[in-house]
């Protein structure tokens, strides 16, 4: 996620330089043909250009909306992961307890148990993040494994869907705690509900990841903008040419203004595109690394640990 209030111009440049260059060359070419070479073959009236521009503006507006909604849904899902992680922690602390009429285990055992259940939740967050960004192979050992018993970490890594497996482990442990008498049936069902909330959040992320914005909608948004940019100078050139202030050079004024209008349409399209896929490890991503770290800090603080990791900070204005 880009965090600087105003984008740096270098970012803008990188985002649009290629289009800008193409627009510049193309418009210059048209001007050169129309002005110096006096080739008026492609002189077309303004009306179809204006109408096309309006229709295209509608269409890219519609697509921007859809793209933004995808980003925001992704962000909401990770917001709910934050909340549910805290709920998990609080429920684990106060539901998983020795009951008076059972064999009372050592309080240190209970504390260790709480720690394992909360660490596995941190592991799940990180595993889901790596799964979405397709980084499980490289980063599992440093980002997920430290929060898991080592055998479990090794097993989960090799499966097709590691985060599901971790939630499966939590569920198994809930059953075992019930069987050991450390969890009542009613509270077990309540904790299973929390696991269900996590499964739903995970499934929501996978849905966004695996189902792109329908390509037929997205592709034509791109096509239309380029078609528009292609006919824009054809419609504009004569309007500029008929002005006289700069004499025969006045037509060249078309270049900056036509490029500008093309650029604006292009930017709207491209900006919409940036938020289409919020889990791709690029600079407009949902900042999952940062969110995972926050969860880790939250949960370890609740475990009364005092050596907490630092928050993730933005690098080059980007929070990953």
Length of the chain: 320
> Should residue 279 be labelled a site residue for a second copy when binding is judged by CB under 8 A?
no
Binding track over 244-263 against a second copy, x by CB under 8 A = xxx---x--x---xx-xx--
Binds a second copy by CB under 8 A, chosen from 105, 115, 217, 252: 217
Distance CA 179, CA 172 (A): 11
Query: According to the binding rule CB under 8 A, does residue 190 interact with a second copy?
Result: yes
271 interacts with a second copy by CB under 8 A: yes
Q: For a second copy, which residue of 19, 136, 164, 289 counts as binding (CB under 8 A)?
A: 164
Q: Which of 3, 21, 25, 154 touches a second copy by CB under 8 A?
A: 3
Q: Which is nearer to a second copy, 142 or 218 (CB)?
A: 218
Please give the structure tokens belonging to residue 293: 């770290």
Both tokens of 254, joined, read 């078309």
d(CA 104, CA 108): 11
Binding mask 135-154 for a second copy (x = CB under 8 A): --------------------
Helices 162-180 and 150-157 cross at an angle (nearest 10°) of 140
Minimum CB distance to a second copy, residue 208 (Å) = 9
CB of 220 to a second copy, least distance (A): 6
Beta carbon nearer to a second copy, 40 or 146: 40
**Which one of residues 30, 128, 132, 167 is an interface residue with a second copy (CB under 8 A)?**
167
Q: Which is nearer to a second copy, 56 or 142 (CB)?
A: 56
Identified binder of a second copy from the candidate list 13, 36, 45, 112, rule CB under 8 A? 45
Nearer to a second copy, 66 or 149 (CB): 66
Select the residue interacting with a second copy from 37, 106, 186, 313 (CB under 8 A).
186
Q: HSE on the CB side for 62, CA within 13 Å?
A: 13
Among 22, 32, 93, 226, binds a second copy (CB under 8 A): 93
What does the alpha-carbon distance between residue 106 and residue 128 come to, in Å, rounded to a whole number? 33
Helix H or strand E encompassing 181: none
Q: How far is CA 152 from the centre of its chain?
A: 29
Q: Which of 111, 200, 248, 281 binds a second copy (CB under 8 A)?
A: 200
Select from 15, 51, 29, 59 the least CA-distant residue to 222: 59
Instruction: Give the interface segment with a second copy, choosing from 34-42, 101-109, 112-120, 145-153 (CB under 8 A).
Output: 34-42
Query: CA–CA separation, 251 vs 269, rounded Å?
Result: 28
Instruction: Choose which of 10, 111, 135, 196 interacts with a second copy (CB under 8 A).
Output: 196
Nearer to a second copy, 47 or 150 (CB): 47
Sequential DSSP letters for 236-290: HHHHHHT--TTGGGGGGGHHHHHHHHHHHHHHHHHHHHHTT-TTSSSTTS--HHH
Burial of residue 122 (number of CB atoms within 10 Å: 0-12, 13-18, 19+): buried
Q: Is 106 in the site for a second copy (CB under 8 A)?
A: no
* Residue 29 in contact with a second copy, rule: CB under 8 A: no
Alpha-carbon separation of residue 281 from 233, 319, 320 (angstroms): 37, 10, 7
Query: According to the binding rule CB under 8 A, does residue 168 interact with a second copy?
Result: yes
Cβ distance 42 to 234 under 8 Å?
yes
Out of 211, 307, 313, 315, which residue is the one contacting a second copy (CB under 8 A)? 211
Residue from 140, 147, 224, 279 in contact with a second copy (CB under 8 A): 224
Residue 269: both structure tokens together: 């399209």
| 91 is a site residue for a second copy (CB under 8 A) | yes
């Amino acid at each position: 996620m880009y965090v600087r209030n105003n984008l740096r111009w270098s970012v803008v440049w990188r985002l649009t330089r290629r289009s800008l260059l193409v627009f510049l060359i193309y418009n210059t070419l048209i001007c050169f043909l129309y002005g110096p070479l006096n080739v008026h073959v492609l002189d077309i009236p303004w009306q179809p250009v204006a109408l096309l521009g309006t229709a295209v503006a509608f269409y890219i507006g519609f697509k921007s909306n859809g793209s933004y909604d995808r980003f925001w849904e992704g962000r909401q899902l990770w917001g709910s992961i934050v909340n549910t992680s805290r709920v998990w922690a609080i429920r684990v602390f106060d539901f998983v307890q020795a009951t008076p009429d059972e064999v009372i285990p050592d309080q240190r055992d209970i504390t260790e148990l709480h720690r394992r259940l909360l660490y596995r939740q941190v592991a799940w967050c990180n595993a889901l993040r790596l799964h979405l960004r397709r980084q499980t192979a490289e980063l599992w050992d440093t980002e997920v494994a430290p929060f898991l018993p080592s055998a479990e970490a090794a097993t989960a890594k090799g499966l097709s869907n590691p985060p599901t497996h971790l939630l499966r482990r939590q569920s198994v442990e809930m059953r075992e705690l019930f069987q050991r008498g450390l969890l009542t049936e009613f509270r077990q069902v309540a904790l299973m509900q929390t696991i269900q909330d996590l499964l739903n959040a995970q499934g929501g992320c996978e849905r966004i990841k695996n189902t792109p914005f329908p390509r037929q909608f997205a592709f034509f948004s791109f096509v239309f903008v380029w078609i528009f940019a292609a006919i824009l100078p054809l419609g504009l050139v004569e309007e500029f040419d008929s002005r006289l202030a700069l004499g025969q050079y006045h037509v060249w004024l078309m270049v900056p203004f036509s490029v500008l209008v093309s650029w604006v349409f292009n930017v709207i399209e491209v900006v919409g595109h940036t938020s289409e896929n919020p889990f791709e490890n690029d600079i407009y991503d949902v900042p999952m690394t940062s969110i995972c770290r926050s969860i880790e800090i939250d949960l370890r603080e609740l475990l009364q640990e005092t050596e907490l990791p630092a928050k993730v900070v933005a690098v080059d204005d980007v929070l990953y």
